[in-house]
Amino acid sequence: MEGNKLLPHLFRTEYRKIVSVLSYRFGIEHIELAEDIVSDTFLAATESWSTKGVPDNPTAWLYTVAKNKTKNWLKRDNFFQQKLLTDLRHSIPEGEEIEIDLSARNITDSQLAMIFTVCHPSIQAEAQVGLALNLLCGFGIQEIADAYLTTKTVIYKRLSRAKEKLKEAEIKIQQPTVTEINERLEVVLKTVYLLFSEGYYSTSHNTVLRKELCVEAMRLCYLLIEQELTNTPAVNALMALMCFHASRFDARMDNTGDLVLYQEQDESLWNRELIERGEYYLHQAGASPVLTRYHLEAAIAYWHTHKEDSAEKWENILDLYNQLLILEYSPVAALNRTFALAKARGKKEAIKEAEKLGLTENHFYYSLLGNLYTDIDNGKAIQHYETAWKRANTPADKALMEKNIEQIKERLNS
């Protein structure tokens, strides 16, 4: 990798690891110190590598400098060092320095502990996702602001408040107990799911797809799968869901950045390896008789990896949506269920169900109505697509509405 691209890449992959290890070692109350030390480490890399060149092992260089900067800081701040020695006396032999363990095992342990700390119920879900992006995924304040279509100031204040709440509640960064896993795993999975969703359909940077967010969500989920206590059927179901969705990344947009609808996607662009991994994790998720939303959504996503428009496929998808809405209602699931109803039972029945939803602020609602009315009442179809265009948030969505309108007009004029 070229030098000018290497450092940003390492910042994304290594910043989060070192911050997690230092925070795990020193506690949530010193998280800003951990961030400062790691930021200084990367600043030193920028200055050194630009004049002396990139070292043979840049990751090891970063780890060494981070360790040294931490030890130097402790020597300069005697009060802080004594406090840490007191707090950690059970794990440090007398006369020895505090060691910074950046082994792969400790990095994994630290990040697992951080996931459950970030997802503590004392902070709101939106802040949990923001902290996960910042501390566990290495995203900067500006990137998070872009993802949420807001300003750096708003995100900085949101993350600062969340960190303060964790400190006030005296939350420990530690390996979760079985009880804590049972109590908090659902929140952890929701955070990972929201992170993936933000990437899979993102309004930031005028694009619908942000692979980086999705990859990070899958990485965090895999971290849970690797640990025996957190390797649950629900975790496997979520991983299966993300694998199935991610398998169609390259087919969802064309070369000009326009959205490609599912039925028009080039199946040869689907990632068969990811589909097979999804099938594996879905099989693992079936070890429990308890169905979660992730089981049902993964099963729906599985059927979407079969391109043919068979009656069996759409009847199965419709049944799964029915179960999902009973288990956990959401407007998005209701919209998607109506599309499956149209494929399984016909557009006229689906129109009746769709109009009952009344999701008048949602551009997907009008887009769905436009699709359902096409070739039944093309005038209404155009009206609904025009309304969807007005409410759409991204250029890709607007371009799709324009394309649909043009296609209907061409049929009317032919």
Give pLDDT tens digits for 265-310. 999 999 999 999 999 999 999 988 889 999 999 999 999 999 888 9
Determine how many CB atoms are found less than 10 A away from the CB of residue 46.
Answer: 11
For residue 19, which of 122, 100, 82, 128 has the smallest C-alpha distance? 100
Residue 253, helix vs strand vs coil: strand
User: What confidence score (pLDDT) does residue 89 get?
Assistant: 44
26 part of a folded domain: no
When the pLDDT of each residue in the chain is averaged and rounded to a whole number, the result is 87
Q: Cα–Cα distances in Å, from 184 out to 115, 125, 176, 179, 189? A: 10, 12, 9, 9, 9
Is residue 367 predicted with pLDDT exceeding 80?
yes
**Angle between helix 395-413 and helix 378-391 axes, rounded to 10 deg:** 160
150 part of a folded domain: no
For the entire predicted model, the pTM comes to 0.85
Confidence of residue 212 (pLDDT cuts 50, 70, 90): confident
Displacement of CA 47 from its chain's centroid (Å): 33
272 part of a folded domain: yes
Can you tell me the mean pLDDT for 41-68? 93
168 part of a folded domain: no
260 part of a folded domain: no
315 part of a folded domain: yes
206 part of a folded domain: no
Can you tell me the mean pLDDT for 226-255? 93
Q: Any residues with CB less than 8 A from the CB of 67 and at least 6 apart, and which?
A: 100, 102
162 part of a folded domain: no
Tally of domains within the chain? 3
Can you tell me the mean pLDDT for 11-30? 88
Query: What is the percent of the chain where pLDDT is above 90?
Result: 53
Report the alpha-carbon distance of residue 337 to residue 318 in Å, rounded: 6
Q: Contact 236/281 with Cβ under 8 angstroms?
A: yes
Is residue 90 predicted with pLDDT exceeding 70?
no
Q: In terms of domains, do 287 and 272 share one?
A: yes
Q: Cα–Cα distances in Å, from 211 out to 33, 196, 223, 249, 346? A: 30, 9, 18, 8, 35
Is residue 182 predicted with pLDDT exceeding 60?
yes
Residue span of the structural domain in which 315 resides: 308-353
Displacement of CA 405 from its chain's centroid (Å): 33
For residue 382, which of 393, 370, 365 has the smallest C-alpha distance? 370
Q: In terms of domains, do 280 and 324 share one?
A: no
User: What confidence score (pLDDT) does residue 209 get?
Assistant: 46
Can you tell me the mean pLDDT for 342-358? 95
Q: In terms of domains, do 286 and 238 share one?
A: yes
